[in-house]
Amino acid sequence: MTLEACQYLRRGNTPSVITDHSGFTAEVFSGGRLNGVVNDVGMSIAAPEAYPLCDYPWFSGPGDYRHASFPDFNNPIDLTAAYSNLYESVGGNVAIWPVIQSHRWPVQQPGWSLRPPGAEELKCMTGIALAKSARGAFFFEYSTMQYDGDYAALMPELAKLAARLRDAIGPILQETLPIELATTVSGGGSGFYANGVAGTFEASDGTLYLIVVNRNHEAFSTMQITVNTTFSGKTIAIGNVADVEGQVSVTSAKLGENSWRFTLSPAAGDFTVIRIGRIK
């Protein structure tokens, strides 16, 4: 399916494409906890819809990034777990480009509606998806946003985020694959989560990257990411550590024979891509 066809079929949405592919096969789906849905139909992209920003009775307000879907609305699951589950279910054979909620939906019945994200929440939802193996993203908004009062405030932020994905982060993500390094995160949490999120990725030349997400949507957070520097009998050489966008200062220190710590302070709800070293 060509990009133009996808845009036609999902008219009213705003996809952000971070690759130069002229065509691809994709399936957009929701429900089923985002896993167990993707079948072997020859698709190259799985595009799960996850709407965590709801006014359902069991949601607690801004910063609550849990997802729930039919038929089990009353047992929401954190987006971090939802995307991890999906990646495991497709075995890394299908690229994951989630449909990120960037709209609101008016109340359908008392207490049941989708609220719009704030700018920090929009970045955080995107960062969580990328840290948990997504290689791209679509941003889903209804044209009615223009009449509901959300469009003017959110669209400039969405445009900046889409430009980051296209120009700075996307080219790197398209050349990497997730790698299961033993990683711990301290800091970057909120009233809903103890800590932020981090994912590790390897480029074809062995270069390693971290994606670090501050789940505190209200403030900067100092985060410490500890990485085990051994992998499948190989050693990771740490060096040339830097935020690839040059926006966040990163410090690093060797903790032990096989452990390094990276310290940084992302902005509220923001995510950062860090180059940390190379597998020998």
Domain map of the chain by residue range? 3-173, 176-279
| Chain centre distance of CA 201 | 13
Q: Is the pLDDT of residue 47 over 90?
A: no
Which residue would you say has higher pLDDT here, 151 or 11?
151
Q: Is the pLDDT of residue 115 over 70?
A: yes
Per-residue pLDDT, 11: 32
76, amino acid identity: P
Tokens read off for 146 = 């223009």
Which residue would you say has higher pLDDT here, 91 or 65?
65
Give strand pairing partners of 139. 14, 100
User: Cα–Cα distance between 116 and 41 in angstroms, integer?
Assistant: 33
- Burial per residue of 6-32, b for 16 or more beta-carbon CB atoms within 10 angstroms, e otherwise: beeeeeebbbbbbbeeeebebbbeeeb
Q: Is the pLDDT of residue 21 over 70?
A: no
User: Cα–Cα distance between 259 and 236 in angstroms, integer?
Assistant: 10
Q: Lowest-pLDDT range, 19-33, 155-169, 175-189? A: 19-33
Q: Lowest-pLDDT range, 13-22, 90-99, 125-134, 167-176? A: 13-22
Fold of the CATH domain 176-279: Chondroitinase Ac; Chain A, domain 3 (2.60.220)
Q: Lowest-pLDDT range, 86-95, 103-112, 132-141? A: 103-112
Averaged pLDDT, 10-14: 35
Quick one: pLDDT band at residue 9, thresholds 50, 70, 90? very low
Helix 119-131, helix 79-90: angle, nearest 10 = 30
Quick one: pLDDT band at residue 109, thresholds 50, 70, 90? low
Q: Is the pLDDT of residue 83 over 50?
A: yes
User: Cα–Cα distance between 169 and 261 in angstroms, integer?
Assistant: 23
Q: Lowest-pLDDT range, 30-39, 117-126, 168-177, 233-242? A: 30-39
CB 86 within 8 A of CB 45: no
